[in-house]
Chains A and B, each alone.
Chain A
């Protein structure tokens, strides 16, 4: 697995002549996890960064014009996140500033593609509304049960419990649909 990408740094605008430094930008994911739609963390390292250098910009260029973007992790200063919406070969350009000198690190090309023999599905990130409704209905059960103890319970199991356990008689007003929604919620735990 080629985990490390490239580690070439060139100097721009050096005050005291041309200089060369070594920097590294490493993908934290292996090759087979670099696919469209997946956020790929890249980690910068190198002496220049431990000696006061600050990475202040990053740009990504896609060979085929795909929508590929990069952002700095808001919490981890040396981590950048790369994502492409569709297959592409990309190059990433980091700029690092130290002592009023500007260094550029060029990384890539990085191939971001689907595994052969596969095709993407439509992704829907918002939570399933049925899960939210099921969670809401489960609030009637929390006086006696912890949701984690009932993980993966089916509708039939819940229905049997309501009919068989005397302390659950108050829940006999739940409809079959409401029981199903509770089961959907418990299935996510």
Chain B
């Protein structure tokens, strides 16, 4: 009977300590579902579009100029364009701002950003009211190119 009591006590202590340890570390395990949704959320926010080391970083936005005539469309295009490493090479660019039917909302802008310059800003004016536009930015240097397209309304 004494032996049985000792065994029961040992088992009881074992169960308590194991349960305590499991409770203590219950949140330490990786939760793949949580990680996945977190990473997806991050990817959605950044809309990271490169599938290998990028040759360029380029991103832009199109803004509406405030206080303009409703019969006209006036936009400001602002872009950041750079190499991740070599900042000394000029980058050629082309920006096209297009209506949904593919016609140009304003003349396309082409040129080269000199070394050390990483922003591209210009205004786009159309004498008609444009409610939806597509903007296509193409950058190239050293035989490599990258195109980014966004739509605005």
Residues of B within 8 A of A127 (CB): 149
Residues of B within 8 A of A180 (CB): 101
Q: A40 an interface residue at 8 Å Cβ cutoff?
A: yes
Partner of B63, one of A34, A115, A154: A115
Q: What secondary structure prevails in chain B residues at the interface with A?
A: strand
A162 to B138, CA, bound (A): 30
Question: Chain A CB within 10 Å — which of B59, B67, B76 has the most?
Answer: B59
In angstroms, how far is the closest chain A Cβ from the Cβ of B3? 50
- A125 and B47: CB pair below 8 A? yes
Q: How many A-B residue pairs have CB under 8 A?
A: 141
Known interface pairs A33-B78, A71-B48, A187-B101. Does A120 touch B61 (Cβ–Cβ under 8 Å)?
Answer: yes
Q: B18 an interface residue at 8 Å Cβ cutoff?
A: no
**Size band of the interface chain B makes with A:** 35 or more
Binary interface encoding of chain B residues 47-74 relative to chain A, with 1 for a CB under 8 A from any of its CBs, else 0: 1101011100101111111110000000
Q: A25 an interface residue at 8 Å Cβ cutoff?
A: no
Known interface pairs A29-B80, A41-B57, A76-B53. Does A83 touch B118 (Cβ–Cβ under 8 Å)?
Answer: no
- B79 and A33: CB pair below 8 A? yes
Binary interface encoding of chain A residues 1-43 relative to chain B, with 1 for a CB under 8 A from any of its CBs, else 0: 0010000000000000000000000001111111111111101
- A125 and B101: CB pair below 8 A? no
Q: B121 an interface residue at 8 Å Cβ cutoff?
A: yes
Residues of B within 8 A of A43 (CB): 84
